Amino acid sequence: MDKSVEQRDAIEITGLRYYGYTGYLAEERMLGQWFEVDLTLWVDLVAVGNSDRLEETLDYRQLVDRVRHHIETAKVNTMEHLATQIARSILECDQAQKIRVRLTKVSAPIPDFSGKISVEITRSLSDFFNS
């Protein structure tokens, strides 16, 4: 794929919110908490832009389902690991060449802290799959 196309075209999916069981504390993995996810996927949109054929772009429903599945079923210690699992799963789709995952813990169990905690990772196919 031409690098200029990879950087030029992107699809963003934002505001995904699911209840999950990721966290360092055992209570977080048992009781759960809310997570939010924003995705940026770099893809070549030239063909679908010219043809208007759905099969030439990503299936957004499939991507949303993959994120939901990982959030709702993973019981891991770190948000970094969960974000990496999400990235790997989505890059298995044919058209995605690179992804940014922003994973936010909406209400982190930190005393006297009312903010949010987020991790953001950017991964490409070569980070997971040997071409």
Q: Using an 8 Å Cβ cutoff, are 62 and 91 in contact?
A: no
Q: Does the active-site annotation cover 105?
A: yes
φ and ψ at 58, to 5 degrees?
-75, 145
Reference 33, options 72, 65, 86; nearest CA is 72
From 75, 98, 105, 116, the catalytic residue: 105
Would you tell me how many other CB atoms lie within 10 Å of the CB of residue 4?
8
Contact predicate 105/117, CB 8 Å = yes
Catalytic residues: 105
